[in-house]
Amino acid sequence: MNHLAKLMRRSETAVFLIVLAIMIVIGLINPAFWQADNLFNLLRANVIIGIMALSVLIVMVSGGIDVSFPAFAAAAMYLTVLAMNAYGHEGVLLPFIGATLIGLLCGLANAFFIHTFRMIPLIVTLGSASVVRGLLLGLVGTSIVNIDRMPPALIAFGRSSLEIGGAKLSVMVFVYLGLAVLVWLLLTRTMTGRSIFAYGDDAESAKRVGFNTRRTVYVAYGLAGALAGFAGLLHASMIWLANPRDFVGYELDVIAAVVLGGASIFGGRGSVLGTLLGVFLLVLIKNSLIIMRIDNTWQGVVIGCVIVVATALTAWRDRKTLA
Amino acid sequence: MAEPLIELRGVTKRFPGMKALDGVDFRIEPAEILCLAGENGSGKSTLIKIVSGVYDFDEGTLLIDGVPVSGFSPRAAIAAGIQVIYQDFSLFPSLTVAENLAMGRLLSEGRRFIAPAECRRLGAEALARLDVTIDLDARVGELSTADRQIVAIARALMSETRLLIMDEPTTALTGREVDRLFALVREIQAKGIAVLFVSHKMREMLEISDRICVFRNGRKVEEGPTADFTEARITRAMTGQDLGHERYVWTGDAAAEPRLRVEGLSVGDAVRDVSLELRAGEIVGLSGLLGSGRTELALALFGMEPDHRGAIFLDGRALALTSVPEAVEAGIAYVPEDRLSEGLFMSQSIARNVVASAIDRATRGPFLSDEAVTTLAERTVDDMRIATTDVDKQVGKLSGGNQQRVIIGRWLLTGPRVLILNGPTVGVDVGSKAEIHRRIRDLAVTDGLAVLMISDDVPELLHNCNRILLMHRGAIVDDLDPRGLEEDDIHTRLKTLR
């Protein structure tokens, strides 16, 4: 009984129930929804937003916010694809390591400014996003690498799938879930992960207890950047296209997903499971809007409302627990 | 005789422009409970920071177990078994109780990974040592203040602690919780651990400590066994003067139309069918345990509980109080419990804070007049004797007592007819407290202001009120005449309400 009550209080449970309800409703309207093909496609659509959401989750738990990840993802993706073409590289391991490292460096730059000058994360990441995008387009190029010029190895990797019950499930879904497990282990089972929570709760106290808070900030933003870089290249390999102007507007979707999953924008609160559910809910909403032929512009309205409502609910919950 | 645990000899600490400590001799014996008394700025905090290694000092010696120590640092203090519990507890609300307890140990062992089972084991050990039970898997953010404090204490005692420093540990606690804390402190003492206790509340100092040490202006002015002290003696030592203790006497007309009349006021379940009358010049005390509904009652009178039922009359005129502006317009002022979060704009100047509630008095045409603001602010600073020469100074830089005067002064500018004070001197030192009391009494006598004073501080109520109301479970259960009552009478009465 007590366990059940505890379970019901968790925001993950609420999100899960909402997801379930929406799925049942859509299934009633269109039974084709429950076909494996459709469900697997839905999962595939979770991958990129999901990995980026993990990146944002880490930063949000630390009490910060990151709006630079789309720019970092675009830079990591575009630079890596250009480099692969320039050297005729045929593997994928090295390119993914490269993209991750590019993201990592960008993230560490964020951490440097945020920690050294005690700057507000929103301002720093807005700035770094703008700088990275500007440099990418100004110095590197603006032309899209189309499918005919994409490295074949990358395309092949992005296409790899498993056949389950006659439908194809993208292997990328497992890559995403694998990363989610790693981030979960990091956040809950390592001192570094717990230090991110502690730092998000109260940076001063974290210092007093003996955490190396400088390291915490660098780990949080560095990791966030690395995940973004990785997600960037993975995206290119999944859509067979590398566009340096890609990922514009992803900030909103991803942050919405993380907030939906119960993370607090004030730090200290958030879970990997919640984030996975939040991402799934967001993708589900967007997909159903497409199925219902609702115009693209209106999708923005819906997502915006979802963010405001979800944040209002968490704020209301936090106020209730305080009182 | 054994060496003192910690001893300071002739310690002086200078800050630019002042001596925070001036040639202080100070010692803490093993396993004693020592109370540190002093007003804000008397050097108490500096002393704590020196003993815990946060501050270096300019002259003198620090000895631990009789051995002089140089280059004392926070790390060295912890190694010597000195632990500080700060007022904010330094806990992590989103981590579990077990994690909060285990974190320090795991960190000092340089761990990289954290296993929930091990956390729980360490946490359970820590709580068992204090013989308390708290859900180890609960997040600290979900605990009550008292439980949080216990977690903080348990955490501090996890290492080989010999001295526990507690900075104003009772400020946020209810009476029963204070009793529980004191029982805990005595148990800690029984384990051979010394406790250095800082409090503003005389009664608590006298109750818990073995020895009292009073500081004033960076010097130790008195020191001795607690048995030798009385409240009056501590006050005299802290302020350097005798503070008047004559009680407030109301000489108004009991038959006159009440300034404020409340009939059958109910707010949800918190306040049930409360009726009361306040006459001009009366200072009426309102006490009761936390959760008795006293704050809700005050908020309803200030228009912050629009869903209340019942009637409120001001000078015989019925008021419909559904918003704060209506209450202010009617002449009701409310000084909240928590001036930090509810009352003051900490990063703004004194002047701006002062005029915040009376903006229309500082305008020229549609614009705010800087000149008028300054004039009003200077008058308030003068009137309330706020210790500053500069009305542009940030309010956050004032002491607690002066901040409280800014709030009260601000409300006086609105020309209130009823003043509701919620915990008017919480966290305020004795000198400031006397000043605030004097001012409130003046207002009641000369301006005929009706004052409702909500407080847990029984001496404060007895000293300043001509009537004291006790609330319990939303109802007023007592209307006491303080004449002939002693502190203990009220404490006893409050205890029977539990």
pLDDT, averaged across chain B: 87
Q: What is the pLDDT of residues A38-92, one digit of tens each?
A: 899 999 999 999 999 999 999 999 999 999 999 999 999 999 999 999 999 989 9
| Sheet with B309-314: strands ordered across | B271-278, B260-267, B309-314, B317-319
Q: What is the pLDDT of residue B6?
A: 93
User: The complex's ipTM?
Assistant: 0.84
State whether A209 and B104 contact (CB < 8 Å): yes
B141–A contact, CB cutoff 8 A: yes
**Residue from the list A192, A198, A210 with its beta carbon closest to the beta carbon of B92:** A198
**Residue from the list B90, B114, B141 with its beta carbon closest to the beta carbon of A205:** B90
Q: What is the pLDDT of residues A109-133, one digit of tens each?
A: 999 999 999 999 999 999 999 999 9
Cβ pair B435, B405 in contact under 8 A = yes
Tens-level pLDDT at each residue, chain B (498 residues):
578 999 999 999 988 777 889 999 999 999 999 999 987 778 888 899 899 888 889 999 999 999 999 888 887 888 899 999 987 788 998 899 999 999 888 888 888 898 899 999 999 999 998 888 899 999 998 888 888 989 999 998 888 899 999 988 887 777 778 888 899 999 999 999 999 998 878 888 899 999 999 998 889 999 999 999 988 888 888 877 766 667 888 888 888 889 999 999 999 888 999 999 999 999 999 998 777 888 889 999 999 888 889 999 999 899 888 898 889 889 999 988 776 666 788 888 888 888 887 877 778 888 888 888 888 888 888 888 888 788 888 888 887 778 888 888 888 888 899 999 988 887 777 778 888 888 899 889 988 899 999 988 888 898 899 999 999 988 999 898 888 888 788 888 887 876
Tell me how far apart the alpha carbons of residues A198 and B174 are, in angstroms, rounded to a whole number.
Answer: 28
Sequence-distant (6+) residues with CB within 8 A of A93 are none
Q: How far is B123 from chain A (nearest CA, A)?
A: 16
C-alpha separations of B180 from A32, B85, B498 in Å: 63, 17, 14
Cβ pair B214, B236 in contact under 8 A = no
B341–A contact, CB cutoff 8 A: no
Cβ pair B231, B458 in contact under 8 A = no
B115–A contact, CB cutoff 8 A: yes
Q: What is the pLDDT of residue A1?
A: 45
Q: What is the pLDDT of residue A237?
A: 95
**Cβ burial, residue A261 (10 Å; 0-12/13-18/19+):** buried
Indicate the residue type of B399. S
Residue B441's Cβ-side half-sphere holds a number of Cα atoms within 13 Å equal to 20
* Mutation for B interface: A196, A202, A204, most B CBs within 10 A: A202
Q: What is the pLDDT of residues B310-346, one digit of tens each?
A: 999 999 899 888 898 889 889 999 988 776 666 788 8
Neighbours of B438 (CB within 10 A): 14
Q: Which residue on chain B is closest to A267 by alpha carbon?
A: B94
Please report the domains of chain B, with CATH numbers, ordered by start residue.
Answer: 6-239 (3.40.50.300), 243-331+416-498 (3.40.50.300), 345-415 (no CATH)
Tell me how far apart the alpha carbons of residues A221 and A233 are, in angstroms, rounded to a whole number.
Answer: 19
Q: How far is A250 from chain B (nearest CA, A)?
A: 28
State whether B113 and A191 contact (CB < 8 Å): yes
Planar angle of CA B464, B170, B223, nearest 5 degrees: 85
Residues of B in Cβ contact (< 8 Å) with A191: 106-107, 111-114
b or e along A177-212 (b: 16 or more beta carbons within 10 Å of the residue's beta carbon)? eebbeebbebbeebbbbbbbbbbbbbbebbbebbbe
B310–A contact, CB cutoff 8 A: no
Neighbours of B492 (CB within 10 A): 10
